[in-house]
Chain A
């Protein structure tokens, strides 16, 4: 393929499609500008805060005496604060921003009632702020992933209702018969989340279930949030961005349908494998392990579909920031799922159940997969909202490599350290503290990885800030990572 023939330059491609379509897209993009930028800006602020908290958590784990007389800086409060800022502040808000834009584009309708969305975003920010404040002040509920105190949870739910009712309205006004793959995933995510959140809140706080079932409900919620909320938005975004950037239709629609339904069916049944050998009826855990193994089906179909779509176009990752981030995320989804299968097997779980491996797993899902896909979508969407292109290709490259190496190093450190920790824990002839001693060097390595991620996030936030201030490049071509003209592209194909 010839470098100059790269269909990255959307204007030149869509010019053929006629001016009417161009104009329609521009109108849709303009109508989404305020709410989507509001979600993105809030998400960026939460990302920076979450990153700082993460650095503190990581550092304090191997330096436990830091600030030990300040109650709101104790490790056991900052850790859930970091987790909730990232999950509800960064990932959910950025994901919703992307989902709103995609929904408007795919429904081919201008965004109605933007105030509903802006109000929803405002309430969501308020909910996260109150929730994180509550956790730091010692108001945590003590349920993992649902630590937000009730007053924050209620605000969050109201905010969500505003956003979701908007999405359904949008769907109602859509034009065109065909419902694209991305829309299945997004509609699923928007309908699954309120159920998950309401079920979690009701069964834990309003009519609490007895004893260990609280843990079952908690992990059911957490795992489904990971798969049916973040996973669905991430996969839906990848299904849009990859074909869009390379200018080629998805390889197989049928494969996509199989992937979607098997994903909805099997991944929703996972969760209990995290409680392996705990005080539960064995069938619950076995069912989840079986479901986890069956998630190989959606992983294989989705992975194959993306791969076949990309076939022959991989060299484009050299130029397009969106493609590079999105493909990295899509590949990480496969790795994340396969590691999930591996650590769910009873023979492996015996060693890794109570170790840092589960932290590695969450980071693979939420960062290497979801966050990278969302970064990619932001590189695509923000210029279309602002009318300027990203200013520095070098900053995008730095962002990508710092993120990629950072998350790669973090995952390796936590996986390797976690396996050693588990092996030592399972060896009763060693004293217990041997297992936590073993992992300390790996935790220091993780702090180093966290430093890389911090650098990458600050670079991205700076670049995003430049765009917000209207300091992007005025150009008709997107910012490529490498100059297209200068390359003898044939040599790389």
Chain B
């Protein structure tokens, strides 16, 4: 090849073509979306993140959760994500307009988290029978996690027969004294703030098959001074702290759980067809009352 000009122009031109085509034009197309509202201008979705949630997002980034967890639900014709009940509709660009960084993810060594907050139990359902515990500290995570000791949840899901027989009322009940509902294979799993804390602290105490590292450095083991903290983790077995000690979440852990509880794409979007008939979502009770997506 002779002549420098064609070489330089070609080198410049090819990348300019790709840069404009794959980043600039998409930015014109979907780079300036607004939240969706209904006719009255209420029912705005999505909403900006609260401070604690934003900080939780940074904890999520710092500890590399994205290398194992995705946050995107693919359409029902493209993949089994909706059948796996990771969401009742596919994710759309509008779902992410307030997220920075955005954690779409490229790996699923763990479950998809797009709707993990939508799968949290509601207060009524999971209210502590004694009413002793106050709701968890995080305002973004309004879960009435009861601080009640009890035997550990069965780590594996019940047999298919048991799952088929399980009534909806049976599974979320706290009759066994577990601070989170027992997970059955027929039912979408339910994730409360207390569940998240125990799961982050000791994943294999909840699911023996879990491959998740534990994040103990986000928790503090301290001596109980006068009364046990309401935030203290309900740990059992070898994870439990010695008598007179308790394990409490650090602020980063609170933020991370607040962030996880905020992940919720269950609100219908006009541009996306929902698999299930549009549920009256958004009210806190919605996720658990909405019918399961048809198989």
Seen from chain A, the residues whose Cβ lies within 8 Å of a Cβ on chain B are 60-62, 64-65, 68-71, 74-77, 79-80, 138-144, 177-179, 184, 187-188, 191-192, 195-196, 199, 203-204, 208-217, 220, 224, 228, 257, 261, 264-265, 268-269, 271-272, 274-275, 277-281, 284, 287-288, 346, 350, 353-356, 358-359, 425-428, 431-433, 435-437, 440
Question: Which of B48-56, B126-134, B214-222, B224-232 lies at the interface with chain A?
Answer: B214-222
Task: Classify chain B: how many residues form its interface, as a range.
Answer: 35 or more
Judged by a CB distance under 8 angstroms, whether B190 is at the interface is no
Judged by a CB distance under 8 angstroms, whether B1 is at the interface is yes
Provide the bound-state CA to CA distance between A353 and B17, in Å: 27
Would B96 and A436 count as touching, CB distance under 8 A?
no
Which of B57, B95, B96, B204 has the most C-beta atoms of chain A within 10 angstroms of its own C-beta?
B96
Q: Which residues of chain B (200-214) have a CB below 8 Å from chain A?
A: 203-204, 207, 209-214
Would B215 and A68 count as touching, CB distance under 8 A?
yes
Would A216 and B23 count as touching, CB distance under 8 A?
yes
Would B67 and A74 count as touching, CB distance under 8 A?
no
Which of A74, A79, A216 meets B26, CB within 8 Å? A216
Judged by a CB distance under 8 angstroms, whether B173 is at the interface is no
Q: Which residues of chain B (1-49) have a CB below 8 Å from chain A?
A: 1-2, 4, 7-8, 10-12, 14-15, 17-19, 21-23, 26-27, 29-33
Judged by a CB distance under 8 angstroms, whether B169 is at the interface is no
Question: How far, in Å, is A287 (CB) from chain B's closest CB?
Answer: 7
7 of the cross-chain contacts (CB-CB < 8 Å) are A140-B64, A142-B57, A142-B58, A195-B19, A214-B100, A220-B18, A274-B106
Would B31 and A209 count as touching, CB distance under 8 A?
yes
- Cβ contacts under 8 Å, B264 to chain A: none
Question: How far, in Å, is A140 (CB) from chain B's closest CB?
Answer: 5
Which DSSP category, helix, strand, loop or mixed, fits chain A's interface?
helix
Would A74 and B17 count as touching, CB distance under 8 A?
no
Would B67 and A79 count as touching, CB distance under 8 A?
yes
Which of B12, B22, B94, B212 meets A269, CB within 8 Å? B22
Would B61 and A141 count as touching, CB distance under 8 A?
yes
Which of A139, A142, A177, A269 meets B103, CB within 8 Å? A142
Q: Smallest CB-CB separation from B219: which chain A residue?
A: A69
Would B79 and A350 count as touching, CB distance under 8 A?
yes
- Cβ contacts under 8 Å, A215 to chain B: 102, 104
Identify 16 new A-B residue pairs, CB closer than 8 A, beyond the known A213-B27, A284-B22: A64-B212, A64-B214, A74-B64, A74-B217, A77-B63, A142-B60, A210-B31, A214-B100, A224-B15, A265-B14, A277-B75, A281-B30, A432-B111, A433-B209, A435-B108, A436-B209
Known contacts A68-B214, A210-B32: does B67 contact A76 (CB below 8 Å)? Answer: yes
Would B62 and A77 count as touching, CB distance under 8 A?
yes
- Cβ contacts under 8 Å, A140 to chain B: 61-62, 64
Would B111 and A138 count as touching, CB distance under 8 A?
no
Judged by a CB distance under 8 angstroms, whether B109 is at the interface is yes
Provide the bound-state CA to CA distance between A220 and B8, in Å: 22
Would B96 and A212 count as touching, CB distance under 8 A?
yes
Known contacts A76-B67, A264-B11, A433-B207: does B75 contact A224 (CB below 8 Å)? Answer: no
- Cβ contacts under 8 Å, B91 to chain A: 278-279
Provide the bound-state CA to CA distance between A206 and B167, in Å: 53
Would A280 and B157 count as touching, CB distance under 8 A?
no
Which of B100, B185, B213 meets A64, CB within 8 Å? B213
Would B103 and A60 count as touching, CB distance under 8 A?
no
Provide the bound-state CA to CA distance between A236 and B57, in Å: 41
Question: How far, in Å, is B41 (CB) from chain A's closest CB?
Answer: 21
Q: Smallest CB-CB separation from A356: which chain B residue?
A: B107
Provide the bound-state CA to CA distance between A192 and B74, in Å: 33
Which of A69, A209, A268 meets B14, CB within 8 Å? A268
Judged by a CB distance under 8 angstroms, whether B241 is at the interface is no
Judged by a CB distance under 8 angstroms, whether B65 is at the interface is yes
Would A212 and B104 count as touching, CB distance under 8 A?
yes
Question: How far, in Å, is A438 (CB) from chain B's closest CB?
Answer: 11
Known contacts A64-B212, A215-B102: does B83 contact A271 (CB below 8 Å)? Answer: no
Judged by a CB distance under 8 angstroms, whether B240 is at the interface is no
Judged by a CB distance under 8 angstroms, whether B161 is at the interface is no
Question: How far, in Å, is A72 (CB) from chain B's closest CB?
Answer: 9
Provide the bound-state CA to CA distance between A350 and B31, in Å: 26
Seen from chain B, the residues whose Cβ lies within 8 Å of a Cβ on chain A are 1-2, 4, 7-8, 10-12, 14-15, 17-19, 21-23, 26-27, 29-33, 57-58, 60-68, 70, 72, 74-75, 78-80, 83-84, 90-111, 157, 185, 203-204, 207, 209-217
Would A426 and B79 count as touching, CB distance under 8 A?
yes
Would A69 and B31 count as touching, CB distance under 8 A?
no
Provide the bound-state CA to CA distance between A56 and B91, in Å: 34
Question: How far, in Å, is A298 (CB) from chain B's closest CB?
Answer: 12
Provide the bound-state CA to CA distance between A397 and B83, in Å: 51
- Cβ contacts under 8 Å, A428 to chain B: 80, 83-84
Provide the bound-state CA to CA distance between A277 and B67, in Å: 19
- Cβ contacts under 8 Å, B100 to chain A: 208, 214
Known contacts A80-B67, A257-B1, A431-B157: does B19 contact A199 (CB below 8 Å)? Answer: yes
Would A191 and B12 count as touching, CB distance under 8 A?
yes
Question: How far, in Å, is B275 (CB) from chain A's closest CB?
Answer: 13
Question: How far, in Å, is A228 (CB) from chain B's closest CB?
Answer: 7
Would A212 and B108 count as touching, CB distance under 8 A?
no
Which of A60, A213, A354, A425 meets B23, CB within 8 Å? A213
Would A209 and B27 count as touching, CB distance under 8 A?
yes
Would A80 and B64 count as touching, CB distance under 8 A?
yes
- Cβ contacts under 8 Å, B61 to chain A: 140-142
Would A211 and B66 count as touching, CB distance under 8 A?
no
Question: How far, in Å, is B117 (CB) from chain A's closest CB?
Answer: 18
The 3 lowest CB-CB distance pairs between A and B, nearest first, are A76-B64, A142-B61, A211-B96
Which of A196, A210, A272, A435 has the most C-beta atoms of chain B within 10 angstroms of its own C-beta?
A210
Would A277 and B79 count as touching, CB distance under 8 A?
yes
Would B63 and A138 count as touching, CB distance under 8 A?
yes
- Cβ contacts under 8 Å, B74 to chain A: 277-278
Which of A217, A261, A278 has the most C-beta atoms of chain B within 10 angstroms of its own C-beta?
A278
Would B101 and A214 count as touching, CB distance under 8 A?
yes
Provide the bound-state CA to CA distance between A71 and B59, in Å: 12
Question: How far, in Å, is B91 (CB) from chain A's closest CB?
Answer: 4
Provide the bound-state CA to CA distance between A360 and B129, in Å: 51
Would A76 and B84 count as touching, CB distance under 8 A?
no
- Cβ contacts under 8 Å, A275 to chain B: 104
- Cβ contacts under 8 Å, B19 to chain A: 195, 199, 220
Q: Smallest CB-CB separation from A64: which chain B residue?
A: B213
Provide the bound-state CA to CA distance between A427 and B32, in Å: 37
Provide the bound-state CA to CA distance between A217 and B20, in Å: 11
